[in-house]
Amino acid sequence: MIDLNDIISTTEFNPLIYWVIALMAIPLLSFFTTTFLKKIAPVWGTMLLGINLLISIYLASQYWDTTGVSIRGNWFSIGDTQLTYSFLIDQLALIMLVVVNFISVLVHFFSMEYMRHDENKSRYFGLLGLFTFSMLGIILFYDLLFIFIFWELVGLSSFLLIGFWFEKKSASLAANKAFIMNRIGDLGFITGLMILYSQFQTFDLEGIKSLTVLSSIEDGNWVAEYFKNGELVRNSLDGRWLSAAGIALFCGAVGKSAQFPLQVWLPDAMEGPTPVSALIHAATMVAAGVFMIARIFVILDAQALEVVAVVGAITAFMAAVAAFSQFDIKKVLAYSTISQLGYMVLAMGVGAYTAGLFHLVTHAMFKAGLFLSAGTIIHQLHQLEGKDVNFDPQDMRVMGGLRKYMPVTFVCFLICALSLAGLPGFSGFLSKDAILLNTAVWVDEKGGGFYFIEVLAFATVLITAFYTFRMIFLVFTGGFRLPKLIPANATLKPLKEGNVFLKLPMVLLAIGSLSVIFGFAMMAENTWFYSLIQDPIFLVPESYAAFNLMDLPREWFENLHFQVVAISIGLALSGIIIAYFLFKPGAKYSASFAEKREPIGLVGQISFYHWYQNALYEKVILKFILWKAKRIAWFDRVILDGFINFIAKFQVVFAHLIAWFDRNIIDGFVHLTTYTTGRVGQLTRSVQSGNVQVYIMAALAFLILMLIWLLF
């Protein structure tokens, strides 16, 4: 039997805590100070984040080989209940630290040029600092309650940054949408927290994991037995709550990582500045959901993992389909992000922990690179806008042939796009293949209806390559379409390549998208990432646990590996080829592209409107909610208010009665008393005339009366 207080006892002092505090304090300092520094805010914010990057690289080099350093302390106690905080610095946290800080620095640097002419740029840089602070909190804390707190802070900073240009109606609406969708997911997160707390009475992940190992299934009940403050605690829940806890926590990830069915907020979130989209809505924040699943991975049971896998596969496919008909370059990238997040979640669901996290890291690099390249294009196109030239610089219909004007951007974009499409030599290939391979093995083991997951996963490869290269052909090849779309008399400034502020982050991220970064390997298993992070073993009671992928025979992996690689490369190449024939300069779709308002045909429509999910929500759920709200409002107004009004009216009438009684009866008594007293007073007063002779007369009369009484 284990004592809970031992597991969550305070650890010995470790100087590492200073570094941890510094890591979080520096971005927070940036948040608090940049508002006051008007002109130098960008430089200041970038410098602070640079320091943070250096700290995280230093920490990574120091703790690279350790198994993880845990720091725990007592936060506060209420009665017997002790709440702790704890940090865990393991390889996963270190890698995430470096990735988040690296991309954050690059985005800061990029924003120095991108936001140069924005008058609110000090607020912008402050919010970036707030975001980085909250994100690092999620990464460093190893306590579900703290992760939840920072989870919410991340949501807040996302809300503030999506709505950064809040004077635009669409931006503030998008911010609200993101916030509300995240809130729905967070409801699940809180539910999961409550289930776990009621079972284990701690939020500390180490404690939860230790107690999960010791919990057992007895007669279909999930029983946890441990000592707490010297007393035996025996908590028993129906076994289904074990799955429910996992699924509920996953709901949080569904909201934050934009998974089906809550993913509709992410395309709208593109209303924010493009560097923000790169940092928050592509590389880091949306990956927080995946990171969170990784943190709770070992306490997920088979059922919860199945849900995770199915949701991931559906999301990956749906979003990929939605991406191939958008006009807005950022929308394409947004759907692509959702799709890739679907892959990561799918990987988690099939138990491919390492592959999912590997894809998280590679995706962070190449997607941030794609967003920053797109940001460069948008920024440079925006420069062309003038008094008589008005267009949407995010619309691919105004682009075309940009390769000639912006060669560096083109190369960066191409490298990141090849990585996204998953071609050998680029990081996306390694991680995506690892996911596909693990999914294939998992599906073989599961069998049955789960084959549709594999089908969706492989179909997504084809579509991903297709939409990526559709975008490249439309943006970078052919002729520049903008001059034809503007009024004839307007003059257009020449389109130029971005300056070093825009170029450097792009180039660095493009380099980060090459597979050599992760070692000279053609297989994910041979990269240094895989040697650092291994798939953990599930800790839930045996009858509920999913099978571990690593328990399966290695031959299965080896046999499937060649097929998976061949099929995925084949699919990716055919996607590129289809895109080439449809969208190469002068091809059928490419020629009519600029005039199109929306795609034609069923598939095009479904894709363009993202499976009509928004419309469905508006038509059904929103309508239902509004209908329900109206009914409830009616109930409120007529029944509840009626009842209250009736009581109020009754009270008023009753009060009038009481008032009458008070005025006439009670006051009557009082008035009678005072009147009587007054009259008596009047009467007796008149005797006191002050006239001495009257007194004498009275005395005389009294005397005479006395005499008469005495004598007779």
Partner 1 sequence: MPLNTILLLGAALFCIGLAVVVTRKNAIAVLIGIELMLNAANLNLVAFSRFDAVELQGQIFALFVITVAAAEAAVALAIVIKVYQHFQTANLDKINELKG
Alpha helix segments (H runs only) across 69-115 = 91-114
Q: Which is nearer to partner 1, 528 or 702 (CB)?
A: 702
At 652, which amino acid appears?
A: V
| Binding of residue 602 to partner 1 (CB under 8 A) | no
Q: Which is nearer to partner 1, 635 or 695 (CB)?
A: 695
Q: How far is the CB of 699 from partner 1 (least distance, A)?
A: 11
Q: Which is nearer to partner 1, 67 or 686 (CB)?
A: 686
Q: Which is nearer to partner 1, 652 or 703 (CB)?
A: 703
Q: Which is nearer to partner 1, 489 or 686 (CB)?
A: 686
Q: How far is the CB of 659 from partner 1 (least distance, A)?
A: 38
Q: How far is the CB of 697 from partner 1 (least distance, A)?
A: 6
Q: Which is nearer to partner 1, 531 or 689 (CB)?
A: 689
Specify whether the backbone of 325 is left (phi greater than 0), alpha (psi in -120 to 50) or beta. alpha
Distance CA 614, CA 600 (A): 19
| φ, ψ at 684 (rounded to 5°) | -70, -25
Q: Which is nearer to partner 1, 697 or 705 (CB)?
A: 697
Rg (CA), the chain: 36
Measured between alpha carbons, how far is residue 192 from residues 242, 251, 588 in Å?
Answer: 10, 9, 52
Stretch of 247-255, 363-371, 576-584, 689-697 lying at the interface with partner 1 (CB under 8 A): 689-697
Q: Are strands 221-228 and 216-218 parallel, antiparallel or unpaired?
A: antiparallel
Q: Which is nearer to partner 1, 499 or 689 (CB)?
A: 689
User: Of 691, 710, 711, 712, which one interacts with partner 1 (CB under 8 A)?
Assistant: 691
Q: How far is the CB of 683 from partner 1 (least distance, A)?
A: 11
Is the CB of residue 289 less than 8 Å from the CB of residue 350? Answer: no
Task: Compute, in degrees rounded to 10, the torsion defined by CA atoms 562, 568, 574, 580.
Answer: -130
Distance CA 43, CA 259 (A): 36
| Binding of residue 697 to partner 1 (CB under 8 A) | yes
Which residue is it, tokens 């009438």? Answer: 653
Q: Which is nearer to partner 1, 600 or 697 (CB)?
A: 697
| Binding of residue 692 to partner 1 (CB under 8 A) | yes
Q: How far is the CB of 675 from partner 1 (least distance, A)?
A: 19
Distance CA 625, CA 5 (A): 46
Contacts of 544 (CB under 8 A, 6+ apart): 217, 239, 242, 243, 301, 302, 303
Q: Which is nearer to partner 1, 625 or 697 (CB)?
A: 697
Q: Which is nearer to partner 1, 601 or 681 (CB)?
A: 681
Stretch of 290-298, 353-361, 525-533, 696-704 lying at the interface with partner 1 (CB under 8 A): 696-704
Q: How far is the CB of 654 from partner 1 (least distance, A)?
A: 47
Q: Which is nearer to partner 1, 232 or 708 (CB)?
A: 708
Q: How far is the CB of 682 from partner 1 (least distance, A)?
A: 10
| Binding of residue 489 to partner 1 (CB under 8 A) | no
Q: How far is the CB of 684 from partner 1 (least distance, A)?
A: 7
Q: What is the number of helices (H) and of strands (E) in the chain?
A: 30, 5
| Binding of residue 706 to partner 1 (CB under 8 A) | no
Q: By rule CB under 8 A, what string of x and - marks binding of each residue 669-688 to partner 1?
A: ---------------xxxxx
Is residue 164 exposed (0-12), middle (13-18) or buried (19+ Cβ within 10 Å)? buried
Task: Compute, in degrees rounded to 10, the torsion defined by CA atoms 519, 524, 526, 527.
Answer: 40
Residues numbered 321 to 360 that lie near partner 1 (CB under 8 A) are none
Q: How far is the CB of 677 from partner 1 (least distance, A)?
A: 15
| Binding of residue 689 to partner 1 (CB under 8 A) | yes
Q: How far is the CB of 693 from partner 1 (least distance, A)?
A: 5
Number of residues in contact with partner 1, rule: CB under 8 A? Answer: 13
**444: nearest Cα among 552, 540, 348:** 552
Q: How far is the CB of 676 from partner 1 (least distance, A)?
A: 18
Q: By rule CB under 8 A, what string of x and - marks binding of each residue 635-674 to partner 1?
A: ----------------------------------------
Q: Which is nearer to partner 1, 516 or 697 (CB)?
A: 697
User: Of 76, 602, 693, 708, which one interacts with partner 1 (CB under 8 A)?
Assistant: 693
Q: How far is the CB of 688 from partner 1 (least distance, A)?
A: 3
Q: Which is nearer to partner 1, 620 or 700 (CB)?
A: 700
The pair of structure tokens assigned to 18 is 């200073």
Q: How far is the CB of 690 from partner 1 (least distance, A)?
A: 3
Q: How far is the CB of 687 from partner 1 (least distance, A)?
A: 7
Q: Which is nearer to partner 1, 67 or 684 (CB)?
A: 684
| Binding of residue 232 to partner 1 (CB under 8 A) | no
| Binding of residue 387 to partner 1 (CB under 8 A) | no
The pair of structure tokens assigned to 438 is 């693990």
Our measurement of the distance from residue 143's CA atom to the centroid of its chain's CA atoms, rounded to an integer in Å, reads: 18
At 311, which amino acid appears?
A: V
| Binding of residue 696 to partner 1 (CB under 8 A) | yes
Q: How far is the CB of 673 from partner 1 (least distance, A)?
A: 21
> Which of 645-665 are b and which e, b meaning 16 or more Cβ less than 10 Å from the residue's Cβ?
eeeeeeeeeeeeeeeeeeeee
Our measurement of the distance from residue 511's CA atom to the centroid of its chain's CA atoms, rounded to an integer in Å, reads: 28
Distance CA 623, CA 366 (A): 39
Distance CA 682, CA 675 (A): 10
The pair of structure tokens assigned to 297 is 């991975």
Which residue is it, tokens 């946290």? Answer: 93
Residue 88 bridge partners (DSSP): 70
The pair of structure tokens assigned to 85 is 């905080």
Q: Which is nearer to partner 1, 67 or 691 (CB)?
A: 691
Q: How far is the CB of 695 from partner 1 (least distance, A)?
A: 10
Q: Are strands 231-238 and 221-228 parallel, antiparallel or unpaired?
A: antiparallel
Stretch of 160-168, 344-352, 451-459, 692-700 lying at the interface with partner 1 (CB under 8 A): 692-700
Distance CA 512, CA 432 (A): 16
| Binding of residue 67 to partner 1 (CB under 8 A) | no
User: Of 700, 704, 705, 707, which one interacts with partner 1 (CB under 8 A)?
Assistant: 700
Our measurement of the distance from residue 415's CA atom to the centroid of its chain's CA atoms, rounded to an integer in Å, reads: 28
Stretch of 445-453, 468-476, 570-578, 691-699 lying at the interface with partner 1 (CB under 8 A): 691-699
Q: By rule CB under 8 A, what string of x and - marks binding of each residue 400-429 to partner 1?
A: ------------------------------
Which residue is it, tokens 């596909």? Answer: 436
Q: Which is nearer to partner 1, 491 or 691 (CB)?
A: 691
3-state helix, strand, coil in the chain (%, to 5): 75, 5, 20
Is the CB of residue 457 less than 8 Å from the CB of residue 450? Answer: no
| Binding of residue 487 to partner 1 (CB under 8 A) | no
Q: How far is the CB of 662 from partner 1 (least distance, A)?
A: 35
Q: Which is nearer to partner 1, 629 or 700 (CB)?
A: 700
CA 56, 60, 62, 67 torsion-angle sign: positive
DSSP string, 321-357: HHHTT-SBHHHHHHHHHHHHHHHHHHHHHHT-HHHHH
Q: How far is the CB of 707 from partner 1 (least distance, A)?
A: 13
Residue 237 bridge partners (DSSP): 222
| Binding of residue 690 to partner 1 (CB under 8 A) | yes
Residues interacting with partner 1, by CB under 8 A?
Answer: 684-693, 696-697, 700
